[in-house]
Amino acid sequence: MELSTADVLAAMCFAREDPSLRPNSARTTALVRIDRGAYLDPSLIPIDAKPWEIERTVTKARCHALARRTRRSDTHPYLSTPILTGEAAMVAAGAGTWDPLPAITFRDEVQPCVRSPFPAARLAGKRVPPVRVLQLASTPSLASISAEFQGIQLPAVPLLVADLARTAHPVSAYANICTTFSRVTEFDNRDQGASRARESALRTEILQALSPFDSTRAIAQIRALIARADAGAGSVWQGGFLWMLHCWLKPSISWESQYHVSLDGMNYYCDAAIPEMKISLEFEGTGKLGQTEQEWRQRSRDFLRRAQSFSRHGWTTVRLTAPDFRNVEAAMWTLGQDLDRLDIARRRPGGPLWKPLGVGDASYQRH
C-alpha cells in the first residue's frame, strides 16, 4: 500500500530540527538520505511495498525535502513560498503520473540558478535513481493561486495544468492533464451528462486563467492540450492511448471516448469507439484484472463474456495493453497498423497535439 504524503512526512527527519542528525553518525547511517540534511526512516516502509510504491514514496520525500530546502519565512519573509508544480505536485497530491520518477519542479520568485539534483536513494532493497530539480519563474500573483498541503505549497489546478502542458512532451502532458481532469471532476461513466458538464466548466476556467501565459512560445499547443483533455481517461495510460488516437485519426473520423454500449442486457463503456463502423478502441491496463486471484478469475470471465457479446453483435475491437506502453513509440505504430488493417482513415501522425517521439526521450519511454 502506498504511503500518503502525510505518512512520508511523519517518517522523515531533518537536521535543521534535530541536531543529533550529524553526518556519519550512528543514527544517520540507519536512515535513508534523501537530500542534504533530510532523511527517511526505512523501518516505516511496508516490507511488501511494490517498486512503483517505493519510487513514489521517495518522490514524496523529495518534495518535502525541497519544501525544507527552499523555506525562507525567517530570512526573506517578503518573498512568497516556492510552489511545487508539474508531475511532482501530482505525486504529492496522490495522483498517478506518466513518469514514475518525475523531476522535482517548482516555481520561485528568486533568480533561477543551478539547483543540485536529488541523489540516488536505496530503500527496501531498491535503488531509486537521482532526479533533476527544475525551477520556473514565479510572481506574487501566481502565489495567490496556490495552497499549502502537508507543508508543501501546491498550485491551483489552472497553474498546475499550464505547467504540465509547457514542460513535457505532449504525450505525457496530455496523459497527466487528463488524469487531473478526471480527479477534479470526479468523472463517473454512469452519469456522463453531469460529468461532462463539470469537465466543460473546468476547461473554461483553465483556459480563462491562461492569460499570464499568452506570451509563452508554446501557448498554442498548451491551449490545444487543454481543449482536448478528456476527464473520461481514468489513468495516464488511457490518456496516452487517447493522445495516439488524436494524432492518428483524420478529423473526418467521428469517434467518442467512454462510449456507452448496451449488449445482451449488459452496459459496457469503450475507452473509445467509432460508432458508425462498430469499432471499439480499448486500452487494457493491469488494474482491470484486479489485485487478487479471485478478482482476476472473475474479471477474466467478465472480459471473455464482453468480448463474445461485442463479436456477436458485429463489433470489432482494437486493443493495446499495459506491456505495449513500455515503448510508446512502438505502441504508436502498432495502433497505426491495426487502424490500417480495418481500413480506418488515418493520417501521418499529426495535428495540434503531435510531436515526434524521439528515441531515448524519458518523457515517453516507460519503465
pLDDT digits over 305-359, tens only?
Answer: 888 999 999 999 999 988 888 899 999 999 999 999 999 999 999 999 999 986 4
**Domain edges within the chain:** 1-155, 238-341
Return the C-alpha torsion angle 225, 229, 234, 239, nearest 10.
Answer: -40
Residue 36: DSSP 8-state: T
Q: What's the grid cell of residue 82?
A: 516556492
Residue 158 parent element (H or E): helix 157-167
pLDDT digits over 253-270, tens only?
Answer: 999 999 999 998 899 999
Task: Give CATH superfamily name and number for 238-341.
Answer: VSR Endonuclease (3.40.960.10)
Q: Residue 36 in contact with residue 118, Cβ under 8 Å? A: no
Which position has the higher pLDDT, 47 or 112?
Answer: 47
Instruction: Sheet with 104-108: list strands edge to edge.
Output: 83-85, 104-108, 133-137
The residue-averaged pLDDT of 192-201 equals 96
The pLDDT value given to residue 362: 41
Count of CB atoms situated within 10 Å of the CB of 282: 19
